[in-house]
């Protein structure tokens, strides 16, 4: 974003202006590779525009081969775009030479699926490594490394070697190392994919804490939708090298628009109907059939009093078929599937009654 014409920004105005700029911006970025035979081209990213807001935790999701790794590798300059520019914290990294990239890379931390720790170095020495490379003196390194090990909960393991640590502990070392050079941006390439669900939760908790305490921007790529649900403020869906949908995690997860998003999120959010219901479900109303209705609540309001009231007021017989309460980005999302013995008119009135109480409904079909 440029300063308004004729206006020079300084002091608080400049600070506010910088704060509004995204931490990372892809501007019309394309990236193609020669295929294995070298004859044809593979388009990994296709005129992609995308921005990662400052201090957000943003997740990129997409099918295998959609372009996720290429996108993240462009951020720290491991790849150069074929065209377009990649701006990180105000610097166009795509325009920099390898030597000019070196100091910029210090402001971009990265964590990996397989941790990438040096096995011959202790925990302390792994975290110290980027500082040694940057020429920081021994005393300053110590002043930096010990608080970082404290932050990630490994102060008592500083003299251990990676082989003596669990997967979660290794990733904590990876995070401490990534933070050693005070980055503005932390990139994560499937950093929890090799961890069990409980360890994943604790690593995500740590990333959230770091994001909140240090105001660090976190950009993650992952194929684990549970990770996105737990940690991301924002989510972007990449398909065929383009961002096809993006928004706050709650909106994207509860109202996915693009077919790829719908496919990726199928079975991730809300209830799953038992097979004995789905096998009998028909899309058209039939005489004597019950309507199967999904009732959705997105706030703290529960469905049960609503359904009790509905049954009482309209004299309907309701059967609960399935129900679940999810947490997406820290907010509850509840779904309850009921069948009701209602013809078209009564069904419309029942849905109106539920809507008036602030809940949403969707007719899934009809069962005899
Ligand atoms: N160095 C390369 N040489 C040739 N083709 C490449 C190269 N890197 C990526 N590609 C191709 O670019 C496309 C996008 O790859 P990318 O690795 O970015 O996808 P991805 O979404 O990260 O996939 P996955 O989830 O499987 O890791 C794929 O078709 C891939 O084969």
319-344, pLDDT tens digit by residue?
Answer: 889 888 888 988 888 888 999 988 88
Question: How many A from CA of 85 to the centre of ligand 1?
Answer: 19
**Rounded mean pLDDT of 297-318?**
78
Q: CA 214 to CA 175: how far, in whole Å?
A: 13
Mutate to test the pocket of ligand 1, among 32, 44, 81, 114 (most ligand atoms within 8 A of CB): 44
Is any ligand 1 atom within 6 A of the Cβ of residue 358?
no
In a domain? residue 130: yes
Q: 316 and 195, same structural domain? A: no
In a domain? residue 5: no
Q: 262 and 288, same structural domain? A: no
Domain ranges, residue 303: 275-367
Distances (CA, A) of 276 to 130, 285, 294: 58, 18, 17
And the tokens for 137?
């003196």
In a domain? residue 13: no
Question: How many A from CA of 65 to the centre of ligand 1?
Answer: 5
Question: How many A from CA of 64 to the centre of ligand 1?
Answer: 8
Q: 239 and 106, same structural domain? A: yes
For residue 154, the domain's CATH number is 3.40.50.300
Q: 293 and 358, same structural domain? A: yes
Q: Determine the atom of ligand 1 nearest the C-alpha atom of 73.
A: 18
Closest C-alpha residue for ligand 1 atom 30: 65
Q: Higher model confidence: residue 17 or residue 78?
A: 78
Cβ atoms within 10 Å, residue 82: 15
Distance spanning both ends of the chain, measured CA to CA: 59
ipTM of the complex: 0.97
State which of 220, 237, 266 marks the end of a domain: 266
| pLDDT tens, position by position, 138-170 | 999 999 999 999 999 999 999 999 999 999 999
Q: 150 and 280, same structural domain? A: no
Q: 282 and 257, same structural domain? A: no
Q: 176 and 66, same structural domain? A: yes
Binned at pLDDT 50, 70 and 90, residue 127 comes out as very high
Is any ligand 1 atom within 6 A of the Cβ of residue 305?
no
Q: Determine the atom of ligand 1 nearest the C-alpha atom of 66.
A: 21
Q: Higher model confidence: residue 250 or residue 368?
A: 250
Lowest mean pLDDT segment, chosen from 76-85, 88-97, 216-225, 274-283: 274-283
Counting the structural domains of the chain, the total is 2
Q: CA 170 to CA 149: how far, in whole Å?
A: 12
For residue 283, the domain's CATH number is 3.30.70.260
pTM recorded for the entire structure: 0.85
């Amino acid at each position: 974003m440029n300063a308004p014409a004729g206006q020079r920004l300084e002091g608080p105005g400049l600070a506010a202006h910088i704060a509004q700029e995204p931490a990372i911006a892809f501007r019309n970025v394309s990236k193609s590779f020669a295929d294995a035979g070298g004859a044809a081209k593979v388009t990994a990213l296709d005129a992609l525009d995308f921005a990662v807001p400052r201090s957000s935790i943003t997740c990129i999701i997409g099918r295998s081969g959609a372009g996720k790794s290429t996108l993240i590798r462009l951020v720290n300059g491991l790849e150069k775009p074929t065209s377009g520019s990649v701006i990180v914290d105000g610097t166009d990294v795509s325009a920099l030479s390898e030597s000019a990239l070196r100091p910029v890379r210090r402001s971009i931390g990265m964590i990996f699926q397989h941790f990438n720790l040096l096995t011959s170095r202790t925990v302390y020495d792994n975290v110290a490594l980027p500082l040694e490379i940057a020429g920081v003196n021994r005393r300053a390194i110590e002043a930096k490394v010990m608080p970082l090990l404290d932050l990630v909960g490994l102060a008592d393991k500083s003299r251990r070697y990676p082989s003596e640590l669990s997967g979660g502990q290794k990733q904590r070392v990876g995070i401490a190392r990534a933070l050693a050079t005070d980055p503005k941006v932390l990139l994560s390439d499937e950093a929890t994919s090799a961890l069990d669900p409980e360890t994943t939760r604790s690593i995500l908790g740590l990333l959230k804490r770091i994001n909140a305490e240090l105001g660090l921007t976190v950009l993650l790529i992952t194929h684990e939708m549970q990770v996105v649900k737990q940690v991301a403020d924002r989510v972007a869906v990449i398909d065929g090298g383009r961002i096809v949908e993006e928004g706050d995690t709650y909106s994207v997860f509860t109202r996915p628009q693009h077919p790829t998003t719908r496919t990726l999120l199928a079975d991730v959010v809300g209830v799953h109907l038992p097979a004995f219901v789905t096998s009998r479900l028909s899309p058209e109303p039939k005489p004597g059939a019950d309507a199967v209705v999904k009732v959705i609540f997105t706030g703290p309001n529960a469905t049960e009093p609503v359904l009790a009231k509905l049954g009482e007021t309209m004299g309907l017989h309701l059967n609960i078929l399935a129900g679940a309460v999810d947490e997406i980005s820290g907010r509850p999302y509840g779904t309850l599937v009921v069948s009701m013995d209602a013809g078209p008119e009564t069904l419309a009135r029942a849905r109106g009654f539920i809507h008036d109480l602030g809940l949403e409904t969707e007719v899934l079909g009809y069962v005899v």
